[in-house]
Structure formats: C-alpha cells, structure tokens
Chain A
Amino acid sequence: MTSLHPTNAQRSEGAAAAPLAIELVGINKHFGPVHANRDIHLAIKRGTVHGIVGENGAGKSTLMSILYGFYTADSGEIRVNGTPATITDSRHALALGIGMVHQHFMLVDNFSVLENVVLGAEDSAFLAPTLNKARTQLKALARDYGLEVDPDAIIENLSVGQQQRVEILKALYRGAETLILDEPTGVLTPDEADHLFRILGKLREEGKTIILITHKLREIMAITDEVSVMRQGAMVKTLTTKDTSPGELAELMVGRRVLLRVEKGPASPGKVLLDVQDLVVTDDFKVPRVKGVSFQVRAGEIVGIAGVAGNGQSELLESIAGMRDQLLGTILLNGEVLSLEGDDGAARARAAGLAHVPEDRLRMGLVTTFSEWENSILGYQHAYGSGPGLDIAKARETAEEYIKKFDIRPPNLDLKTANFSGGNQQKIVLAREMERNPDVLIVGQPTRGVDIGAIEFIHNQIIKMRDAGKAILLVSVELDEIRSLADRILVIFDGKIVGEADPATSDETELGLLMTGSHADDVGTVSEPGTLAPHETPVQQTLTQMSPQDNSGKDPN
C-alpha cells in the first residue's frame, strides 16, 4: 500500500533505450454502436512495467483483450518486438510470448494447480510426462520469482492471492515475455497485493515486460515506469511515472479537475436518530458475528465503522437494515423500537424511515436484469399504483428525475442495469435510497469498484445528506474513505466496538492498531516495528496478520 520499490527512477532510465516489446498502431474496435477503442497508439518498452489507467469503460480491458487475441481489432496493427503480428486468438498471443492474467481468473476450480498450468499447453496426448515436466518447472519458477504454490493443491482451496499466482505461473509456463495484468489487486488483501508487487518487481528484473491495468493511482505511482491514460476509448497521454502525480493522472482520466480530498464543513449533531443497543447477530452458520454492539448516530453526523473486512460489519449492516434477524438487542429509530424480525424486516425498516445502500450492489442492491427504471423503484414499489397494478408512468417519471439529479449515464431508463458501469449502478442505488428522504441512511462500501469521478460525486451526496440533518452510518473497508467522510469513527474488531476515534486527530497507525484489537500501549505484544520488512508499515503488517480473510496459513511462503 505504501512505497514498494525505491528503484523506479533508475529503472526507467535504463529502460529508456530498451527496444519496444509491444507496439499498437491505430487500433479501432466497435461493439455495435459503442466505439470501445478509437485509434489507439501505444508503445511499450521491453523490461518495463507499463501502467494503463482509465475509468471503467475507458476501453483498457478491450484493448488488452485485442492484444491477447480474445477479440480482433476492426482496424490497426499490432507489432511484437518490432514485427507486425496477426493475433486472432489467444493461441497466437501465447505463441508470441504474450500472457494475460485476467481480472476474473480463468482457472478451473476443481482442478489442481498443475492441471490448470498445463491446460492447453500439453506436450502429448498423455498427461503424465507433461505433468512431470510442469512440476519441475513450477519449482524453478517458484524459486526464481517467489511464486510459491503447492502444485497439487486444488484451486478452490487456495486464497485469491494464490490463485492469481497460478495465473501468473500459467503465463510463465507458456514462455510469456510480456505479461498483461488486468486489475490485479482488486481482489487482493493488502498483504497479497504487496506480495504481487514483489513478484512483478522480480519479473521486471529478469527482463519481462509487464502491462498493468488498474484504476488505483497509488499502484501506478508505486511500481510503473511509464503510464498511459485512456478516456472514453481513446488514448489520452503516455507519461513517465516519476514525472507525473496522482492529481495529474486523475485529471487526465476524468477529463476535468478532480478533488481527491472531500471538502466538508464541521458537523452539527442534533438528536439521536439511530440507537443501537447490545446487538448480537449471528451469520448463516449460527456463529455470532456481532457480539453486543451499542452506539448512537445523531442527526447531522456521519458515523463511520472502520474495521478489517470480516469482523462483523456486514452482519451489523444487514441486521440494522432488517435483512438478518438479530439474536439479542434493540434498535431504536427516532426513539421508537424498530421491529425487524421476519422476512419483511427490511420493508418495515424502510417504512420507518431507514434507507439502506447495501455493501454489494449486484447481489443485494439491484436486479441487474431489470431495466434502470425498475431498479429505481425497487423496495418502494408500493408507492406506485394501488392493488396489483403498477403505475409505470409515475415510476418512469421518478427514474427520469433520478437520472438527472444523479447524472446517471447513459441517461436511458430502459437500459438493462447490468449494462451500466459500476459507478452508475451505484448511483442508481444511491438515488433510490437517498431521494426517499429517510431519517437514517446506512451505507456499506459506497465506492467499491467505482470510478474516481463518481467517487467524488457520491462522497459529496453523502455529505449533502448529512448537512440536511440526516443520520448516516457508513461502513467501508477503505480507511481513507472513512477518515475523510466520517465525523466520528467507531472501530469494530471481532464483532465488538473496540474504540472510538476522531478522524481529525487520529492517525492511521492508531486506527490500525484498534482495528486489530490491540491498543497503542501494548504494541510490543503484537508486533515489534523494528522486526518488520522495510516495505511494510507496522499497521499493515498487523492488519494482514490478524485479518480473518488472510490465508497466509496455507501459504508456504
């Protein structure tokens, strides 16, 4: 998460003279009416890490799919090591030494690591010789690049980080010289991401070329030598990383100035609107996840719940929203006891003035096969028409209004929700929940998988709600987000609130220690800062060590 490789500067100087590994000349690609790539020119030097940034839908993935032969360009030329190449399927790309690690892994879940690695690259009709050869080769690759994975492990038993290593191994086993990584850290824990970047560093040292697609500017600044920015299908600019800044990149990506910081005035908390008392909630397997949590949220304030993912935040949110029955405890909304038992708890919570933006918009927030206008009234459909009938005209009016207010793009209320970008899907959910004028708004992961431009908008909407005197409960795994939005931070660890912090005065280290269940005084018992690897801060080390999602126990490393 912090500085990863101090030698970036040296590297790009050495790389400046390097020949080109990949050159794209005038690439165009249409999907129906959508012009996904417009006249793209891109040169990637051998032995460098080249970042490609852009918002969702900017055409990054399409461009890389063309390079990998998953799609064929409508026009344009691809040159590999200076020679024009025709890449019509992935086999050609692999033969030219281009490997790809997809955002969603292309692994067979119930196969072993070894079987996945050799799939499609078998030497003969019988498997045994290939498997033996691959086993030896995997050992060598593990030694050279720190890519340790048990070759006989079954994929579905591996952590996400290890699965990603298998994807990288697949590419290297096929002799890839150029490796394309599509949003590689989106699914990783900080520790796993760190490990990945160490591997990428080693690959670069060995002379491999790496193309890194991401929208996380921090990663770009940390590891790349050069960075290309894409916007709306076009290549905007290619810059040398050390000569640019996150601010400049963000501006190029969005096409206007972006505030990476949230601007907000001081809060003026009023009366208590949400009062949670001694809440105990279990998960689907009857294991207690929330263990006696009490807190209050007042009108006109944002309370942030910070914690490492998996410490009960999700269950807490779902329980307050009426989606999950609570075992014990009371929830008071505006002074009235809120009864949430039963299957219609969520509906009653809504009726009582509590709006909920769920953590996972695709699973809980939207029906993605519905059109935009249908999703705009979901949960509030009773307000449209009486009896079994639905007042479609009125619903469409509402949707039209939300589209304008929240700048939902494309402004097409008949479009299937699945076809909106992540940011716009989130805006559909936010508009639906915020525009009902609730007293209390609970928001989970408001900007997960959302573009920079949309993040700014969403943050401002949340602040606006606060300033309008609403009580807001915010849960996010992004500590930065909590610190910049919340007026008060409650830290949750192992299902309990272990501390409260003031975002203005507390620093990341202090919060991090609270999030792992230790206090500033007893740091020494958890970790000795002096013993840590130099690239990690003490906080990260503790966080990843303690994180319930961490699978390092299975990791031979």
Chain B
Amino acid sequence: MESYLVDITLILDSTVRLAVPLILACLAGLYSERAGIVDIGLEGKLLAGAFAAAAMAAVSGSAWLGLLAGIGAALLFSGIHGLASINFKGNQTISGVALNFLAAGLTTFLGQSWFKRGGYTPQLAGDQRFNPITLPFANELREVPILGQIYYELISGHNIITYFAFIAVPVTAWVLFRTRFGLRLRAVGENPKAIDTAGISVTRLRYQALIITAVLVGIGGAYLSIAQSAGFNNNMSAGRGYIALAALIFAKWRPGPALLVCLMFGFLDAVQFRIQGQVFPIIGEVPVQAIQALPYILTVILLAGFIGRAVAPKASGIPYTKER
C-alpha cells in the first residue's frame, strides 16, 4: 500500500515538472490567439528561448541572466512574427512555421559555432541553474502521513519557474476577464473592427499580446534548459510548442482548463517514463517508441472528436485590414 502511494506521488511530482513548459507555452499561446494571432511558432520560440537561456547562463554564470536572455530571444522571434503578420498582413501560420525552422537551424548552428559540442551547450551547475526551493516546514512535515508527504514531495521542492507557471494561470484568468486590457484583448481576437471603431489601435493591442506571449514562452524555454535540465541540447523543445497549442484547443482558450489539460499531458508523459521497460500481462514488454507516442496518439484521438465543439476566437488567423 505504502509503495503505491509513493509511486503515485512520484508520478504526480514528475507530472508537475513535465507540465510546466506546457503550461507556460499554452498560456503564451492563449494571449496570442485571444488577440487573433495563431502562434504555431510557439515551438520555435520555446526552442530559441531554451538555447539563449542556456548559452547566457553558461557564459555569465547566472541563471537569472539566462532567463532574461531566454525572454529576449522569444521577444525577438515574436517581433519577427508581429512584423510579418500584423504590419505586413502576411499569413500567420506560414510565418510561424518559418520561425520554427529558423529556431531549429539557428540554435544548432550557433550552438556548434560558439561551444563546439555538437549543438550542446556546456553542462550547467549551481547558480547557472534554477534549483529546487524547499518550502517552509517541508522537512518537518515530511513525517506527517499522506498530507505531509504530499506537501514535501509534490508542493515543495520545485524551482521558482514552476511556481511562477502555476501562479500565472489564475493571474491570466483575472487579466483576461476582469481588466480593461483583457476585455480589449478578447475583443480584438473576436472582432477587430469593433476595436477599431471604438477608437483603439488593433496593431498596438496585438503587439502587446505578442509581447506577453514572448515573455511567457521565453520563460518556458528557459525552464527547459536551465531548470529542468542542465543545458541545451538539439531540438530539446521536442514538439512541446505544438502540444501546447493542442492543449489550448482542448481548453477552448480558457486558462483554467488549459492548466488541467497541460497537467494531463504532463501526466501522460510521466506515466510514459514510468512504464518503459515494464512487462505487462499478455502484451509483454511494450516498445519504448509506442509508449512515447502515447501522448501524441491521445492528442489526435481527443482532437478528432472527444472535446466537443471548440470555437476559436473568431478573428484568429486573420490579419486585420480596414475595408471599404
């Protein structure tokens, strides 16, 4: 009995850790898509953020400078996206995909030419990373059965970005539904003409959304390379940007459900690690690849019809042009 509890706690603990980049990327996408910009480039921004954070942390020795660099890289990518899709009214999806290619190529190229380790950045240690934080009384409460254990294993002992991600969810909900900015943001994604005729700049609002997107996804990237891991490796975002977009659709562009869906994906990922190599009755040992594909298969199945009607913000994907 005891061992099951430990097992579950451990799986949940890694669920949380695996869900963090998804949550950040998903919230990032939420701001952008609520403002009417489809951000398929999340993947590229995540990767660029991860690389810049690791590179800066390795060079400067400071995780915080690394974090800033990660945000900076994502901002740069969002700027390009904004220029292409807001100012020049280009296709948002195509410019986003271009960003993904750019990020994949650029991180490998710069990584190799700067660090000469086949695309890897140097191993990070100590202050170059965000280390786990032990919350007050965690050690004392550890001996308390169940609740104390949950507090110690699940709630305490994460790095600062993890806590930030979980706080960002209610904050996003509040911003979206309780503030002037949120009202306008939602409006510009639904009917930019209503915003324009109310005398508010559509361009400015959409850039503001892209900036928030960049900050969140940049932090998500930094989490990958300097909090969860100790360095950058090639293509380390591994499709998380896309999964985050899928999660956004499941969640129907709402922050609360977005958190739940990201946790669910995190859980699947955690289970996947856990059951690798295990022998099941009848089936025998399941190939690693099949298990690794599980979250993606589930995504397809759920997207194909188990989530009901997901209505995207109406103006999402459409560059705004004043018409006659």
Contact = CB atoms under 8 A, between A and B. Distances in A.
Contact of A119 (B179, B187, B314, B322): B187
Contacts of A94: 198-199
Give chain B's interface residue range (CB within 8 Å of chain A): 20 to 34
A142 interface: no
A119 B199 contact: no
A90 B324 contact: no
Nearest to A130: B180
A106 B180 contact: no
B195 A119 contact: yes
Interface stretch (A107-115, A145-153, A332-340): A107-115
B200 to A, nearest CB: 5
A109 B186 CA distance: 11
A125 interface: yes
A126 interface: yes
A125 B194 contact: no
* Main SS at interface, chain B: helix
Which of A70, A93, A109, A119 has the most chain B CB atoms inside 10 A of its CB?
A119
Given A115-B183, A127-B179, A127-B180, A107 B191 contact: yes
B194 A116 contact: yes
A348 interface: no
B194 A126 contact: no
A122 interface: yes
A31 interface: yes
Nearest to A62: B324
A121 interface: yes
A119 B324 contact: no
A166 to B, nearest CB: 11
B196 interface: yes
B198 A111 contact: no
B101 interface: no
Interface residues of A, number: 33
A125 B180 contact: yes
A314 B311 CA distance: 28
Contact of B198 (A109, A121, A127, A130): A121
A302 to B, nearest CB: 37
B184 interface: yes
B178 interface: yes
A126 B199 contact: no
A389 interface: no
B180 A124 contact: yes
A356 B183 CA distance: 46
B197 A90 contact: yes
Contacts of B180: 122, 124-127, 130
Nearest to B189: A108
Contact of A120 (B178, B179, B198, B314): B198
Contacts of A107: 191, 194
Contacts of A9: none
B184 A106 contact: no
B187 A90 contact: no
Contacts of A62: 324
A108 B179 contact: no
A119 B190 contact: no
A89 to B, nearest CB: 6
Contact of B187 (A70, A71, A108, A121): A108
Given A91-B199, A107-B194, A125 B179 contact: yes
Contacts of A69: 199
A200 to B, nearest CB: 20
A118 B180 CA distance: 9
B114 interface: no
A546 interface: no
B193 interface: yes
A102 interface: yes
A119 B178 contact: no
Given A120-B184, A127-B180, A108 B191 contact: yes
A100 B198 CA distance: 10
Contacts of B183: 115, 118-119, 122, 127
A110 B190 contact: yes
B181 interface: yes
Interface of A: 31, 62, 68-71, 89-94, 100, 102, 106-111, 115-116, 118-122, 124-128, 130
6 pairs of A and B residues whose beta carbons are closest in the complex: A120-B198, A91-B199, A90-B199, A122-B180, A106-B194, A106-B197
20 contacts: A31-B324, A70-B197, A90-B197, A90-B198, A90-B199, A91-B199, A92-B199, A102-B197, A106-B197, A107-B191, A108-B186, A108-B187, A108-B190, A119-B194, A120-B200, A124-B180, A125-B180, A127-B183, A128-B178, A130-B180
Interface of B: 178-184, 186-187, 190-191, 193-200, 314, 322, 324
